[in-house]
Amino acid sequence: MTRKIDPGNADISIAKIERLNWLFTALMALAGGLFFSLLAAKSILVGGMIANISFTLMKRDTLKAMKGPLSSVKLIFLLKYYVKLPALALLLYFVIKHGQLAIAGLLIGLSSVVLSVGYTALCEFIRYSGSKKKNLEPEIVDKGHGSCI
């Protein structure tokens, strides 16, 4: 059994989360440069790039896995995931050891994906809870009226 996945037609758009990832990374790096130092901005930018690229690769692999029969792609997906995880850990190790970056800034940049997902979840919660209070029709809620962005 194969499923057709349309990521642009999902309730919560992955593309919107990806745009927010980069927006939050840019805003945090700008704030780091303005309020702290160029080193802080560089560290936030590097952390954000690592997190955003990792998120994009995970999205690509997940969408590819969901298109085919689940039993045949499950093992390949898990193998890729468990190969990428130590590779990411090694990358972070070398960036911290030799990158001359501020660890706090790197951690702030790495949190850009978490902030994007959290913000999107909060917006969906507000949209859903607002629709219940106003007794809107389910079709209006499904079309995304009343969201944060």
Asked if residues 7 and 119 have their Cβ atoms less than 8 Å apart, the reply is: no
**12 Cβ contact list (under 8 Å, min separation 6):** 120, 121, 124
Q: What is the pLDDT of residue 1?
A: 47
* Cα–Cα distance, 104 to 102 (Å, whole number): 6
Q: Per the domain annotation, does 35 fall within a domain?
A: yes
| Mean pLDDT, all residues of the chain | 83
Q: Per the domain annotation, does 133 fall within a domain?
A: no
Report the domain count for the chain. Answer: 1
Q: Taking 80 as the threshold, does the pLDDT of residue 90 lie above it? A: yes
Asked if residues 16 and 120 have their Cβ atoms less than 8 Å apart, the reply is: yes
- Region 13-37 average pLDDT: 94
Supply the pTM of this predicted model.
Answer: 0.77
Question: Which structural domain range is residue 44 located in?
Answer: 13-113
Q: What is the pLDDT of residue 64?
A: 81
Q: Per the domain annotation, does 19 fall within a domain?
A: yes
Q: Taking 70 as the threshold, does the pLDDT of residue 8 lie above it? A: no
- Region 30-56 average pLDDT: 96
Report the first-to-last Cα separation within the chain, whole angstroms. Answer: 36
Q: Per the domain annotation, does 130 fall within a domain?
A: no
Q: Per the domain annotation, does 52 fall within a domain?
A: yes
Q: Per the domain annotation, does 21 fall within a domain?
A: yes
Work out the pLDDT band at 144, boundaries 50, 70, 90: low
